Amino acid sequence: MTDQLVGAAPVAPPADPEAGAKRTARRRRWRLTGLVILGWLALYGVWEYGSWWFGSRLLPTPYEVLLSAVEIVESGNFLTDFSASVLKTFAGFGVAAAVGAPIGYLMGRYNYWRAFFHDGVTIAGTIPAIVYAVMSLIVFGLSNLGPILAVALVSAPYIALNVAEGIRGVDKSLVTMSEAFGRTPQQIRKEVLIPTIVPYVFAAIRMCFAVAWKVEALTEVFGGRNGVGFQIRTEYQLYDIAAVLAWMFLFIVFMLIIERLVLAKSEARLLSWRPQERSSAL
């Protein structure tokens, strides 16, 4: 036994640690990609099985939905309704940012304003989206303003609370450092305050985006004259479930593109200083 140990092969020289780290990162990325594909395949399998179980009239197969989506895109109505929904979502989101961000700033910066807004914002954030949808339709009727108001009302509390948290999370020692070096309040705002709240703002945008388009579509289902929600209602009345799912599918694709190509990319660029962003870029 001892002889075997003594006569063991010499220990190999340590490999290049940087190459090793890159190899590990590559392997991790492949494993993650594999899991994403597996997730999609599982979803597809469940859907196919569901179609077989319920019958394709009640739950059309993925292929039927895809055909219907192609038909919608080719019909020409797609762009008009789609852009109407997207524009209303963005407009609502813009209103929410214009109202929510200053409220969040005041809540994060001053205790008095925090006391003034806190309960109102919390209550506004807990009211179900459907209540906002119905209220907006009552106030604005069948105009485009209904969905915009609904999106704004649902998103504004999220934005306000996240911006407030961001402001409260500012590292005081960096502010003291800036003051000790004679930096002006404008410089401190630009170099310390805003970079601190950027991650919080991104979290708010992502959260709001996921909720905003659902509320927008829901409001159109109840009382829209155009848009994806309106088309979903029309197809539902015609009992064309494949078309209902196709509209939903197209909207999801668009939102995924926005999320992955616009939000995720700009977040990675703006937050490249964070260790987790750098390691994911390896």
| Residue numbers at the binding site for another protein (CB under 8 A) | 173-174, 176-183, 187, 191-192, 195, 271, 273-275, 278
Instruction: Provide the minimum distance between the beta carbon of 170 and another protein in the complex, in angstroms, as a whole number.
Output: 12
Instruction: Provide the minimum distance between the beta carbon of 201 and another protein in the complex, in angstroms, as a whole number.
Output: 14
Q: Which is nearer to another protein, 95 or 175 (CB)?
A: 175
Q: Which is nearer to another protein, 239 or 273 (CB)?
A: 273
Instruction: Provide the minimum distance between the beta carbon of 27 and another protein in the complex, in angstroms, as a whole number.
Output: 23
Q: Which is nearer to another protein, 13 or 182 (CB)?
A: 182
Exposure on the CB side of residue 242, measured as CA atoms within 13 A: 17
CB of 117 within 8 A of CB of 106? yes
Instruction: Provide the minimum distance between the beta carbon of 258 and another protein in the complex, in angstroms, as a whole number.
Output: 25
Q: For the chain, how far is it from start to end, CA to CA, in angstroms?
A: 44
Q: Which is nearer to another protein, 94 or 195 (CB)?
A: 195
CA distances from 58 to 240, 252, 266 (A): 9, 21, 41
Q: Which is nearer to another protein, 93 or 200 (CB)?
A: 200
Instruction: Provide the minimum distance between the beta carbon of 220 and another protein in the complex, in angstroms, as a whole number.
Output: 40
Q: Which is nearer to another protein, 225 or 274 (CB)?
A: 274
Instruction: Provide the minimum distance between the beta carbon of 260 and another protein in the complex, in angstroms, as a whole number.
Output: 23
